[in-house]
Structure 1
C-alpha cells in the first residue's frame, strides 16, 4: 500500500507538469497537419458515423432503446469508450516511448501514463458535449440522476490510472503485450454493450452476467443509466464491488511492478 500512496503522491505533486506536457503533446502530434488538432475530433466523428450507418441504420432502423433513438443511445456509450480506448493504448506505450528522455531528467516515470490520459481529455469533453446535445435534441430532459455522472467519471479516471500503471510496466517487460492488448480492446469494444443492448433479452442471462464482470461494461452502463435516468449506482452492489475490486487489484499489482522495475526500465528497453 505504501507504493500505491507514493505513486498517487507523485501525480499530485507533479500536476502542473502533467497538464503542461499533455498540452504540448496535443499540439506536437498534429503540428504538421493542415487541419491540426481538429483531427482529434474528426477521427472519432468519422468512426461514430460508420458505426451508426452499420448498426443504427442497417440493424436498428427506426428502433428505440431505453426510450430514445439508437443514435442518442449509442452516443452516450461510445463517447466515453473512445476516450477509454485511446487512453488505455496510449498509457500502455507511454513509458516505453519516453523513458529514455525521462532518464536524463529529474522526472517521475509514473506520471507518463497520466500525461497520456490527460492529453485525450480535450477530445473527450468535445464528444461528451456533443452527446449531451444529441440527448437534448432527442427529447431527454435532465434529471437528478445526471448528478451521478460525477461518480462514474471518477470511476473511469481511477480505473484508467490503475490499468495504465499496470499496462505501462508490463509493456516493457513483455514486448508482445501491447499487440495483444490492442486485440483485446477491439474485442472488448463489442463485449461492453456499446453497440448492442445486452439487457434486451436477446442474449442468454448467463452470458450477460459474465460480460458484466468487464469493468468497461460497468462504466458504459453506468453512464447510460445516469443520462437515461434508469437508476442509481448503489442499486447494483455486486457490480460495484467487482469493479472496485478489479481496479484495486490493478493498482496494487501495477504499483508493485512499477517500483520493482522502474530503475531498470532503460536497460530493459
Structure 2
C-alpha cells in the first residue's frame, strides 16, 4: 500500500521543517510527501533546505485561506502519483515515529472496509518549542477530549464530531467515494466537521488508531478564536444549510457571550467587532 503524506501550508516555515524531519525519522517513511503552498513562494526553498524530496504544489494567494480546496488539490496530486493511503497532517504537527506505520497497519487490517483513521494529538506547550525526535515521547499527553487507544489497537468511533483534520488517514478509494472536502468552506473552521458528517451519512466508519501520535507545535492562540470569527460565522451557516444543525457550538456561544454575535440556535448574526 503506497502511502503519501499531504500537508497544506502558508507561513509556519519552522513548523514545516520540523514536520519534514519527523517524517524522515519515521519507522516507515511515506513513499512521498505532497506539500500544497497557499500563496507562499518560499515553501519550495524551505523544503529544499530541510533535505526534503517533497512535491511542492503551488496555489495562488487567497484570503481567507482555501484550506478545503488546498487539501483536495494535495490529495489529487497524491492520487495521481499512485497513493493508496493518504495521510493528512496539519503543518503544525510533527508525526511521531510510528504514526505512518500505525496508520498503514490499521488501513491494511481494514482492507476494503474504508474508514476515517485518526490518531491521538498532543498539544505542545511554549516551553516545548524545539523538542523533536525521541524526546517528544516524554511529552506525550493526548488531547483528553478524544480517544487514545493502547498502542497497536484500533477503537471504533461513534461520535463523528470528534474527527479532526490535524492528523488522519484515508484510503484513496474511500477518499474518492466521499469526494474530498466541501469547498464551500473557506478559512478557519467547519470543513473537517462537514467531511466527517459526509462520511457518517455515507456509512463510512471512524476509527481511532492507537500509537499514531502527532505532536502539535506551539503557537499563540485565542480562546475563543476571535481572529477567525468571520470565517467561523460564514462556515457555521454553510454547515447549518447542509446538515440542519450548528457546528462549533462552543465557539458560537462564547462569541455570543462577548456580544460579538447573536446566536439563538435558529440563526446567527454578527453584532460587534
- TM-score, normalising length: structure 1: 0.26
Higher helix share: 1
Task: Give the alignment's TM-score, normalised by structure 2.
Answer: 0.25
* Structure with the higher fraction of residues in strand conformation: 2
Structure having greater relative contact order (Cα 8 Å, sep ≥ 6): 1
Q: Which protein has the larger Cα radius of gyration, Structure 1 or Structure 2?
A: 1
